[in-house]
Amino acid sequence: MLIDVVNVRTTQDFQLELGFQNGERRRFDMRPLLSMRPWNRIAASQLFHRAAIAYGTVVWPGEIDISPETLYDDSVRLL
């Protein structure tokens, strides 16, 4: 089941704090991805912090995104 991301907050240590359509709040660690394409283009802090929500997922300028399934499945639930 696809669960849309409805809000995002970036942290200084390249984590995404996410709110999902089902009401869950989760944390996703972007650090392992920042050495891979296309995410290596947002490894600079000023670019990483330009994360936004579009089409039910997290996007960055330059047509960079990550699937909502990955964000949900590979994240840790926040209390």
Q: Give tens-digit pLDDT for 42-56.
A: 999 899 999 999 999
| Structure-model confidence comparison of residues 79 and 5, the more confident one | 5
Helix residue ranges, H only, the chain = 45-48, 68-73
Q: According to the model, what pLDDT value does residue 2 have?
A: 78
How far apart are the C-alpha atoms of 47 and 49, rounded to whole Å?
A: 5
pTM over 0.75: yes
The token pair at 19 is 């709110």
At 1, the pLDDT band (50, 70, 90 cuts) reads low
According to the CATH classification, is domain 5-68 in 3.30.43.10?
A: no
Give pLDDT tens digits for 3-52.
999 999 999 999 999 999 999 999 999 999 999 999 999 999 899 999 99
DSSP 8-state secondary structure symbol assigned to residue 51: -
